[in-house]
Amino acid sequence: MTERTYGGGPAAAAPPGWDRGAYAAGVTLVTIADGRDDIGTTVSAFCPVSADPPLVLISLLATSYPAELLGGPVDRFAVCLLAAGQRMLAGRFAAAGRPNARRMLDAVPHTRGAVSGALIPDGGLAALECEVTQLVPAGDHVVVIARVLAVPYQAPSGEPLIRFRGQYPSLC
């Protein structure tokens, strides 16, 4: 039997053909208010986990500032499931060296979450306010499992923003 190590174990080389960009994923925007500033990042690793209790997960680069905040002084954040028309917003929050979230949302209608305090852009398919319940190391990332505390909005319809092989293809 082969011993398996999860999280924190030695890094293994990716198998031939491994390309995590080859898997289509919905694009979300994660925002955090840390008391001093507002930050945000584009995340394509988002997944509903449980209906009772309502849980979701996001995956963040372990060395990123959002992972540092959620692993320490801050335990609440917002997630916006982006609509197909929000490609520019996704790109802004994915760029290296980006300014704070408030500046990037200056020209975008948004509100501040009543529960998380995080900025929530209008026009997405849904917005969730969450509280961290568990952090799981996973290779070079950390999986954040969070309880959904509030749903500020949910669109009755719309096309999601999807990322596949570095592109944002249309579903139609």
User: What's the chain look like in SS3?
Assistant: CCCCCCCCCCCCCCCCCCCHHHCCEECEEEEEECCCCEEEEEECCEEEEEECCEEEEEEEECCCHHHHHHCCCCCEEEEEECEHHHHHHHHHHHCCCCCCHHHHCCCCCEEECCCCCCEEECCCCEEEEEEEEEEEEECCEEEEEEEEEEEEEECCCCCECEEECCECCCCC
Q: Where are the domains of the chain?
A: 25-163
Render pLDDT for 98-130 as a digit per residue (tens, 0 to 9): 778 888 998 999 999 999 999 999 999 999 999
CATH number for the 25-163 domain, one of 3.30.390.10, 2.30.110.10, 3.40.50.300, 2.40.50.100? 2.30.110.10
One digit per residue, pLDDT tens: the chain, 172 residues? 444 444 444 556 777 765 655 678 899 999 999 888 899 999 989 999 999 999 999 999 999 999 999 988 999 999 999 999 999 999 999 988 777 888 899 899 999 999 999 999 999 999 999 999 999 999 999 999 999 999 999 999 999 999 887 777 787 6
Mean of the per-residue pLDDT values for the chain?
Answer: 88
